[in-house]
Amino acid sequence: MDFGFGPEDEEFRAEARTWLAEHLTGGFADVAGSGGPGSEHEDGAVRRAWERELGKGGWIGLGWGPTSYGNREATLTQQVVWAEEYARVRAPGRYGHIGENLLAPTLLAYGSREQQDEFLPPIARGETLWCQGYSEPGAGSDLAGLRTGAVRDGDGTYRITGQKVWTSLAHEADWCFVLARTEEGSRGPGLGRGHHGLSFLLVPMDQPGRIEVRPIRQLTGTSEFNEVFFDGARVRAAHVVGGEGNGWRVAMGLLGFERGVSTLVQQIGFAEELAGVVRDAVSSGAVRDPVLRDRLVRQWAGLRVMRWNALRTLGGAGGGAGAASVAKLLWGGWHQRLGELAMEVRGAAAAVGPEAWSPTTPYELDSTQRLFLFTRADTIYGGSDEIQRNIIAERVLGLPREAKGSR
């Protein structure tokens, strides 16, 4: 499938290559390839500086449309070109993805002009980092069951009380967009799915004593996501996006922005991981096993299918309801199978851990071990496979909704 790159796109590619060659040097070049899935903790200070470098070059916010907040304007094909070139040189994993690709499009679609003018320029400059306050204990896949509440005071602010969990990069973020219940009593028996009475609030994280962030240690030994506790955290009323009570609409709109050009960046990273597994299989002689060789070919074919699907939806065909769920099902299962395959290629050696280890001491994993352990969560986070299949069944195929409370 040809995505239709033209002469202007190739000029844009040359500009991107030149800029990356001139700026991905020194300390930035030293951290090339760091910060990917399972390694988000790596080289934080240098990668934050790299975000500001990208901002100076106008490379943040290419897909924001005709409005300009210090960002370059780029067509869809040029955004793909930038993603490909960025991945080709193994530039550092992006720290500002949540602000650039989730919050910014949401503000452009639902936010006021004042909110756009306040929050988009520092994102475009690479100066502010954001995290997402959606999931809660007991309200992950069933997000409408959330309990975190926000009460409006007479001084033009809200006080937020509650807990969020699996909050990626909350320990680094300057701001958090939080889905909270602003209508008292809107959650409870007989009140439907709890979609009503929710608001989408922009919360500053620098509130000692009112916001506590507790890192969650993962199988990989690192802590990329966190629990976040709000105890009367303050939010300005002017920082409610889309108006009070319209949070569900805004939140669902944001989830629709999760698919996009960034999926192609992800797939380029997947291709590099697959190439590494193939190299291991060839060097170890494991590739002589016909069953394993067949699985390697299937992984290659699956990656091509993901790319064609991404280009199809980006090009305007096959989008709409269920498209994001299909994409999530494709890449989640594929990446998890790759982690399993990588371990099988290495054989018994893949199970050998570091020489020195203790429950309280961080331990180092090699790339294969990190890939395997991290991908165990791929079919759970971002909406489990079961939830994605329900969305496709109910919203795309029109099948009857699953009976609630039947088990």
Residues serving a catalytic function are 258
In angstroms, the CA 48 to CA 50 distance is: 5
Residues 203 and 170 sit within 8 Å (Cβ to Cβ): no
Phi first, then psi: give them for residue 179, nearest 5 degrees.
-95, 120
Query: Does an H or E element contain 326, and which?
Result: helix 323-346
In angstroms, the CA 303 to CA 274 distance is: 9
Identify the CA nearest to 96 among candidates 15, 203, 17, 168: 168
Greatest alpha-carbon pair distance for the chain in Å reads: 72
CA 291 to each of CA 35, 273, 275, 296, 344: distance values in angstroms, whole numbers, following the listed order: 33, 20, 18, 9, 11
In angstroms, the CA 351 to CA 359 distance is: 18
Which DSSP symbol is given to 95?
S
Residue tagged 């890449």 (tokens): 331
In angstroms, the CA 111 to CA 95 distance is: 23
Q: 190 in the Ramachandran plot: left (φ > 0), alpha (ψ -120 to 50) or beta? A: left
CA atoms within 13 A on the CB side of 49: 13
283 token code pair: 């060097």
In angstroms, the CA 321 to CA 261 distance is: 18
35 token code pair: 């910060």
106 token code pair: 């949401």
